[in-house]
Structure 1
């Protein structure tokens, strides 16, 4: 069994993969220590660990825990240790591990041109050409980051549920906020996709949504898209399979 750890700035997604199938997904807050986050999960059958992380200090904590408690050395995903990965950007080393996993996972599932939108602490747009090469993208503040910043700055506004209201024109403060946050996110997303397609001169490409807020935003979109909430974990699984094949060939 594979223990797949996706360590983000806000959440850590813990996945267990058996026979190329994700059989368990558990989310914990990123401030949670490895001892707190992993102790209560049955990891007795784990034979391999792969970590995708954008939080270096947390990487060390979870890496050391796996060595101590599972007697396993985790494979840490980097831009230069994934067989077949092609990053045609100015500084490949700056591409986050989560984006790398999304690229690998999307290329495994889908052929042709792709735009991956990952809703996390930041909303990232990964642009992949017809040859499966990552050629760049965009990064914007995540939906919850923008909303929480608004709440923190405006004393009279309170947290509200992230859901689409019935109408764009809200009748109270709560529905005003929901309209601005949710419909605003949709317009931003669809506008960015149109801009990317126009700049790339792509009439058709596959749009893939992933990340924590993907299931919330998906129903509000007017553009055709594929919903892959656990694309990052799937990418980790694919990387694990690639590594095993490489070891066998060697």
Structure 2
């Protein structure tokens, strides 16, 4: 089975694929301070809680926007599973033409989302990822990744607002029943929700103008932790796909499979073995 890991600034999202079917998903907190052995314990415990045999994992694909965590997890899979993971980085086969000034500087999460969106929906497609950061990217009908925008994410914006405005409380990030808030909490929720809905719709409209009239028309897909919340309020979002990054990782693994085979039969020590 294939294990894919999407390492974000806040969480590591893991999923198991049996062929094209995603069977299980879980989250771990991203922690740069954890060791190889600590991550191994958490990973095995998560698998066993879902009745997944750790020894059934034969392939691993990783997308990460937190470089310090990469060698820890790569070394973990090499040491305990005997697997050399596929790491999304410059030089892998994507199936897209990267048409930006510095392709090597493109974030792995953006390219993985673009690969997944273009594979599932075709092109042209606009991908809105509402996570720790908010990104909007465009792929044309020929499979050219054209670039996009990077904005502060909802969580970052809320934390900055609360930190810099002493009298403003932390509020639940939720869809309010109307835009005109009747109190501080409602006003903040409205500003957060409708502010990001308006930003996404505005950026998508500008992207569509720059892409021009296309046949077929541009598809817009939203993903990320806040993708469903914000996407369902947007007039110009056509699809909401919470697992787009995971699907993109699976597709990338298949395209690079000859270079991502396991090194030997995996052997996973029991929890606590060798840790006295």
For the aligned pair, the TM-score class normalised by the smaller chain equals: over 0.9
Shift of 1:143: 0.9
Q: Secondary structure of the residue that 2:190 maps to in structure 1? A: helix
- The 8 Å contact of residues 59 and 260 in structure 2, kept in 1 or not, is answered as no
- The match for 1:208 among 221, 235, 242 is 221
1:234 and 2:234 matched: no
Shift of 1:69: 1.8
Query: For 2:113 and 2:205, how far apart are their aligned partners in 1?
Result: 21
- The match for 1:58 among 55, 69, 89 is 69
Q: How many residues align structurally?
A: 248
Give the equivalent residue in structure 2 for 1:109. Answer: 120
- The 8 Å contact of residues 143 and 181 in structure 1, kept in 2 or not, is answered as yes
Give the equivalent residue in structure 2 for 1:92. Answer: 103
With CA pairs under 8 Å and 6+ residues apart, which has the higher RCO, 1 or 2?
A: 2
Query: For 1:106 and 1:224, how far apart are their aligned partners in 2?
Result: 13
Shift of 1:79: 2.8
Deviations 1:160-206 (A, max 9, x none): 11111111111111111100000000000001111111122246310
Give the equivalent residue in structure 1 for 2:236. Answer: 223
- The 8 Å contact of residues 14 and 25 in structure 2, kept in 1 or not, is answered as yes
Give the structure with higher Rg (CA).
2
- The 8 Å contact of residues 13 and 25 in structure 2, kept in 1 or not, is answered as yes
1:243 and 2:256 matched: yes
Q: Which runs of 5+ in 2 are unaligned?
A: 48-53, 262-276
Q: Which runs of 5+ in 1 are unaligned?
A: none
RMSD: 1.8
TM-score by length of 1: 0.93
Give the equivalent residue in structure 1 for 2:152. Answer: 141
Query: For 1:216 and 1:92, how far apart are their aligned partners in 2?
Result: 31
Query: For 2:94 and 2:193, how far apart are their aligned partners in 1?
Result: 38
Q: Secondary structure of the residue that 2:146 maps to in structure 1? A: strand
- The match for 2:187 among 145, 158, 176 is 176
TM-score by length of 2: 0.85
